[in-house]
Amino acid sequence: MSDKQPAAQQVDPALAADTDAPTPPQDVPSQLVETQKPSLFARIAGGSIGLSIGAALAAFIVGGLLIAVTDPATQAASRYFFARPLDTLAAGWSAAYDSYVALLQGSIFNPNGRNFTQQIRPLTETLTVATPLIFAGLAVALSFRAGLFNIGAQGQIILGAIVSGWVALNAGLPVIVMVPLILLGGIVGGAIWGGIIGVLKARTGAHEVILSIMMNYIAANLLVYLLKTPLLQREGSSNPISEKLGENALFPLLLGPQFRLHAGFLAALLAVAFVWWLLNSSTVGFRLRAVGANPNAARTAGISVASGYIVVMALSGALAGLAGAAQVAGTEKVLSTGIAASLGFDAITVALLGRSKPVGTFFAALLYGAFRAGGVSMQVSTGTDIDIVLVLQALIVLFIAAPPLVRAIFRLPDPTGAPRTKKKKSASKAVEAAA
Amino acid sequence: MKLELRKVTKRFGDFTANDSIDLTVTPGTVHCLLGENGAGKSTLMNVIYGLYRPTEGQMFIDDQPVEFSGPSDAMAAGIGMVHQHFMLVPVFTVAENVALGAESIKGATLDLESTRKKIREISDRYGFQVDPDAVVEDLPVGVQQRVEIIKALVRDAEILILDEPTAVLTPAETDQLLGIMDQLRKDGKSLLFISHKLREVREISDDITVIRRGKVVGHAQPTMSTTELASMMVGKNVQLTVDKDAAQVSDKVFEVKNLTLMADNGVPLLKKVSFEVRGGEILAVAGVQGNGQTELAESIIGLHPKATGSLSLNGTELLGMSTKQVLRSGVGFVPEDRSKDGLIGSFSISENLVLDLFDSPEFSSAGTLNRSKISANADRAGTEFDIRMGSKEHTASTLSGGNQQKIVVARELSRDLQLFVGSQLTRGVDVGSIEFIHKRIVQERDKGVPVLIVSTELDEVYGLADRIAVFLHGELMGIVPPTTPRSVLGQMMAGATYEEALAADTEHSEASSGSAAKTQVTESAPRAEGEENER
């Protein structure tokens, strides 16, 4: 021991001197070889907040152009564009401006309302519409963080709706017991449906995208089938629809009977907090993030990747199932074939816009809720088609996905790493020889 | 052709990778660029090869200023590059690979005949022994490298850049490469040789330029001692040999019996491997990569559930346990590829330091991580293992290779160990960190822990080992004392038993130096297919 001590001290001063440099100079070159290259998917899902905001803004600009171009008044003015070009521009501007104002008024605050209730109703509508999107968005975001692409939120929502709907229709208990029971039904239904995907992936290595798409079909048809059996079908009806839910099985309204906002929104807030804790502070979340970020290193550190897949898919499914419960007992009050609408797919875009982070997903869901709520009043008051809202949603995702694409085309350096795109250029000529 | 760099500077943002580098490579010489990992060697090569544009400064070829907008310009100007990672298409033949990018066409068909002719010419001239019709993936690594050199020569390269060419070679292959470089030099080519392996540098170089942190810190002569060169490279006195006392054997013991592992395609990766490591000694596994060493290490920590045989640690059977159980029973493991298996690049440094302990009572309670303890652990490990980091909350990918490796080593050595298994502990690690890591391993040994080291670096093997195990094609060729000469070890790695190798070596030293070629021809073609399949 004694002869080693001086040697250690001999090293120390030189090393200590090096720590003065604020950034170790070795970093950039070493990244050229050392850094794990984030996958395209990781870069899309893990973009910065600036990217999300920028994408939304760019979508609004392009959307505004589309509104202007499709506006009848603008089109009329464009016929004499070369005589009076300003007419066309003015018409186009006012069309886009009016539409967006209507969208805003329809989703947040309507100053033309006769009383405060009517003025504030748009905001509560936005929150109501956003509630299932928050649950489903969290579901997809959670799977993203574990490196899985859960396309199956749609099916998990449907299963959540089936189980919670069945509970709501059959358990005649007081509302205080019913609400948690219905939520639990959603959790169980969704978790089973998601868990199946997780088990299949972990045991057989099948890809979760294929599995979850197929599970979506099965869920949709299972719902149609069940709605035609005495188990769920309304007595005396030939349509695939259930009985209306009883008063005891409905989520309590938060702001009284003149608004639709229900207790499901509070549950969604709790879910946001839960997922935040799960991802940032829990051991389970650590394991899931490790599996998602680098399964090889996770395995080497003794983390079971297979059980990670099962756990994350069950958790993701449970969250999606809650969206189904919120639909049944919160807004729809009946189980029908259209109970999940396109929530499961919107959830993917919500999670992308929210950068797979719980709070981000929450705000992204609010934005989508606002689109939905405001779109209706926009169509009524300005005649702009509500489908423009879908175009806006699609554009946002397109712009979020575009930066890597744009960087690839122009060979710009990747802001997350070192300037390695140029190295790839030479490598692309020939595949690396296996050593 | 003479290559000259005058005040070449390359910056990435605020960071200066190369700071006004002056360098001249004269025809008929081998000029070595010596520097640690991260010193800026590769960046400079990429500048010369046209992959990066210099921020400032000018390059001259035969005193004419040149500017490249891409590798094709550099190639046209007579610069050829042999990359560290080969740029070859494995399923193509040698001729197809050489023709790639400069195919000659006869009518609508590819004319490979002219390429074949050129390959044969070059091959005969320099004694490459490369068959133009061999499929590249069937060739040994050393021959694949020659294909890379041929690629450059076919394009009439007069200036050849070799980027750490010996990193992937066996000692015998390395000697052959040095021979080839010597011939090229005699033929009047200008060679720029990048390396941090001092022995080779001293053997082949005419001039040595040492760079550190992007700056030229001096010129050295090949006659200088390795210690002097290393000190120049690192900027401080380094100890190249590992200081250790004789092994004090403890009662701990790790026994491997008949360990066998088959790849999914039935190819054996490990064949009835048996040996034991006693507490307080270091057993170093030597051998060319892809001969089962990786699988051996991974089998020990339970990453290959299909392995059969027995792995007994102080009487406890490890085989059949999950990786977590193995780690928790006191096995420390450093995987050979830290960025792939050892670290999560997007996780913070403190998270990486608890990657295998995050759910232990020490760092969590009731399913919630104890952030303050994890953070305190990072502070402790950072100081103890001298991990140089801006902040412990930065992601691990922002660190240099040496510091990343220190994270892995720190994590594994921070537990109370019954066995330590480490693969390629110092690969891509700077000299200063190598010294430190070696010291820690010896400390662990002196605590009485059995230590198993896998390394392709003979210097490391000799520096650390109390005994050396040699692997070939998944078989244990023998366990030899660390006093065994390098040449004997090299022959064992190519398939000779200890006795054969020893006999051949004695014979060799009696005969003239030329007869060394005899054993060098018995080149093996180690392949890592099984390893890929296994994952």
Partner-chain contact B17 A10, CB within 8 Å: no
- Write the secondary structure of chain A as one string of H (helix), E (strand) and C (coil): CCCHHHHHHHHHHHHHHHCCCCCCCCHHHHHHHHCCCCCHHHHHHCCCHHHHHHHHHHHHHHHHHHHHHHCHHHHHHHCCCCCCHHHHHHHHHHHHHHHHHHHHHHHCCCCCCCCHHHHHHHHHHHHHHHHHHHHHHHHHHHHHHCCCCCCCHHHHHHHHHHHHHHHHHHCCCCHHHHHHHHHHHHHHHHHHHHHHHHHHHHHHCCCHHHHHHHHHHHHHHHHHHHCCCCCCECCCCCCCEEEECCHHHCCCECCCCCCCCECHHHHHHHHHHHHHHHHHHEHHHHHHHHHHHCHHHHHHCCCCHHHHHHHHHHHHHHHHHHHHHHHHHHHHCEEECCCCCCHHHHHHHHHHHCCCCHHHHHHHHHHHHHHHHHHHHHHHHHCCCCHHHHHHHHHHHHHHHHHHHHHHHHCCCCCCCCCCHHHHHHHCCCCCCCC
Q: Where are the domains of chain B?
A: 3-234, 253-484
Distance of alpha carbon B379 from its chain centroid, rounded?
A: 30
Which 8-state DSSP code applies to residue B84? S
Per-residue pLDDT of chain B (535 residues; tens, 9 = 90+): 899 999 999 887 767 788 889 999 999 999 998 877 667 887 888 899 888 889 899 999 999 999 998 888 898 899 999 887 788 888 899 998 888 877 777 777 777 888 898 899 988 888 888 888 989 888 888 888 889 999 888 888 899 999 888 877 777 788 889 999 999 999 999 999 988 777 888 889 999 998 887 888 888 888 888 778 877 877 666 666 777 888 888 888 999 999 999 887 777 889 999 999 999 999 999 877 678 888 999 999 999 999 999 999 999 999 999 999 999 999 999 998 888 899 998 899 999 999 999 989 999 998 999 999 999 999 999 999 888 887 888 888 878 777 889 999 999 999 899 999 999 888 767 777 888 899 999 999 999 999 999 987 778 888 899 999 998 888 898 999 998 888 788 778 777 788 888 887 777 665 544 443 333 333 333 333 333 343 3
Half-sphere exposure of B254 (CA within 13 A, CB side): 28
CB of A433 within 8 Å of any CB in chain B? yes
Quickly tell me which residue has 């120390």 as its tokens: A12
**Exposure letters A152-167 (e unless 16+ CB within 10 A, then b):** bbbbbbbbbbbbbbbb
Other beta carbons less than 10 A from residue A108's beta carbon: 15
CB of A277 within 8 Å of any CB in chain B? yes
Partner-chain contact B90 A299, CB within 8 Å: no
Closest CA to A30 of B12, B288, B70, B86: B12
CB of B249 within 8 Å of any CB in chain A? no
Nearest to B369 among A22, A30, A283 (CB): A283
Closest CA to A124 of A259, A264, A270: A259
Closest CA to A282 of A306, A310, A311: A311
Nearest to B342 among A15, A27, A297 (CB): A297
Indicate which of B397, B430, B527 best probes the interface with A, i.e. most A CBs within 10 Å of its own CB: B397
Tell me which chain A residues have a C-beta less than 8 angstroms from the C-beta of B388: 15, 18-19, 24
Domain B3-234 falls in which CATH fold?
Answer: Rossmann fold (3.40.50)
In sequence order, which ranges of B26-170 are alpha helices (DSSP H)?
A: 41-48, 71-76, 94-99, 113-126, 141-154
The string of pLDDT tens digits covering residues A265-303 is 999 999 999 999 999 999 999 999 999 999 999 999 999
Partner-chain contact B355 A284, CB within 8 Å: no
pLDDT at B274: 95
Share of chain A above pLDDT 90, in %: 55
In sequence order, which ranges of B303-343 are alpha helices (DSSP H)?
A: 323-328
Nearest-CA distance B293 → chain A (Å): 15
Partner-chain contact B355 A31, CB within 8 Å: no
pLDDT at B309: 94
Closest CA to B42 of A313, A55, A34, A398: A34
pLDDT at B511: 53
pLDDT at A41: 56
CB interface of A with B, residues 278-297, below 8 Å: 281-284, 286-287, 289-290, 293-294, 296-297
Indicate which of A2, A4, A34, A315 best probes the interface with B, i.e. most B CBs within 10 Å of its own CB: A34
Tell me which chain B residues have a C-beta less than 8 angstroms from the C-beta of A286: 351, 358-359, 369
Quickly tell me which residue has 């946001």 as its tokens: A272
CA distance B30 to B187: 12
Indicate which of B75, B81, B346 best probes the interface with A, i.e. most A CBs within 10 Å of its own CB: B346
Pairing of strands A334-336, A241-244: antiparallel
pLDDT at A395: 86
CB of B459 within 8 Å of any CB in chain A? no
CA distance A14 to A21: 13
Quickly tell me which residue has 């001249």 as its tokens: B24
Closest CA to A366 of A142, A151, A156, A132: A132
Other beta carbons less than 10 A from residue B229's beta carbon: 23
Q: If you average pLDDT over residues A164-188, what whole number do you get?
A: 94
Indicate which of A9, A19, A30 best probes the interface with B, i.e. most B CBs within 10 Å of its own CB: A30
pLDDT at B115: 87
Distance of alpha carbon B74 from its chain centroid, rounded?
A: 27
pLDDT at B225: 81
Other beta carbons less than 10 A from residue A111's beta carbon: 6
Domains B3-234 and B253-484 share a fold: yes
Structure tokens given for B71: 């590798």
Distance of alpha carbon A405 from its chain centroid, rounded?
A: 21
Nearest to A27 among B85, B386, B398 (CB): B398
Other beta carbons less than 10 A from residue A361's beta carbon: 32
CB of A35 within 8 Å of any CB in chain B? yes
Q: B349, B393 in Cβ contact below 8 A?
A: yes
Partner-chain contact B347 A4, CB within 8 Å: no
Partner-chain contact A36 B340, CB within 8 Å: yes
* Crossing angle for the helix pair B401-413 and A27-34, to the nearest 10 degrees: 70
Indicate which of B341, B374, B534 best probes the interface with A, i.e. most A CBs within 10 Å of its own CB: B341
What end-to-end distance do the CA atoms of chain B give, in Å? Answer: 47
CA distance B28 to B18: 26
CA distance B368 to B387: 27
The string of pLDDT tens digits covering residues A117-155 is 889 999 999 999 999 999 999 999 999 999 999 999 999
Tell me which chain A residues have a C-beta less than 8 angstroms from the C-beta of B401: 26, 30, 33-34
Strand segments (E) across B395-481: 419-423, 451-454, 467-472, 475-480
Closest CA to A317 of A155, A182, A179: A155
Partner-chain contact A28 B12, CB within 8 Å: yes
Q: What is the dihedral of CA B265, B269, B271, B272, to 10 degrees?
A: -110
Distances (CA, A) of A38 to A44, A46, A404: 10, 10, 11
Indicate which of A15, A18, A300 best probes the interface with B, i.e. most B CBs within 10 Å of its own CB: A300
CA distance A20 to B223: 34
pLDDT at A39: 55
CA distance A399 to B91: 39
Backbone angles phi, psi at A355, to 5 degrees: 55, 30
Partner-chain contact A430 B87, CB within 8 Å: yes
Quickly tell me which residue has 């059996």 as its tokens: A229
Structure tokens given for B348: 């913070």
pLDDT at B37: 63
Closest CA to A216 of A188, A242, A194: A194
Checking phi first, is residue B252 left (phi over 0); if not, alpha (psi -120 to 50) or beta?
Answer: beta
CB of B140 within 8 Å of any CB in chain A? no
Q: What is the dihedral of CA A108, A112, A116, A122, to 10 degrees?
A: -30
CB of A434 within 8 Å of any CB in chain B? yes
Other beta carbons less than 10 A from residue B428's beta carbon: 22
pLDDT at A31: 34
CB of B294 within 8 Å of any CB in chain A? no
Structure tokens given for A364: 């992204």
pLDDT at B237: 62
Decide if pLDDT at A399 tops 70.
yes
Pairing of strands B190-195, B159-163: parallel
pLDDT at A184: 97
User: Nearest-5° angle of CA A51, CA A57, CA A60?
Assistant: 140
Partner-chain contact B343 A283, CB within 8 Å: no
Predicted model pTM: 0.72
**3 state SS of B239:** coil
Nearest-CA distance B506 → chain A (Å): 33
Tell me which chain B residues have a C-beta less than 8 angstroms from the C-beta of A294: 340, 343-346
CB of A412 within 8 Å of any CB in chain B? no
Decide if pLDDT at A54 tops 80.
no
CA distance A149 to A140: 7
Partner-chain contact A300 B303, CB within 8 Å: yes
pLDDT at B126: 85
Top-tier CATH class for B253-484: alpha beta
Task: Give Cβ neighbours of residue B388 (< 8 Å, ≥ 6 apart).
Answer: A15, A18, A19, A24, B399, B400, B403
Nearest-CA distance A379 → chain B (Å): 45
Mean pLDDT of chain A: 82
Backbone angles phi, psi at B221, to 5 degrees: -105, 145
CA distance A286 to A312: 12
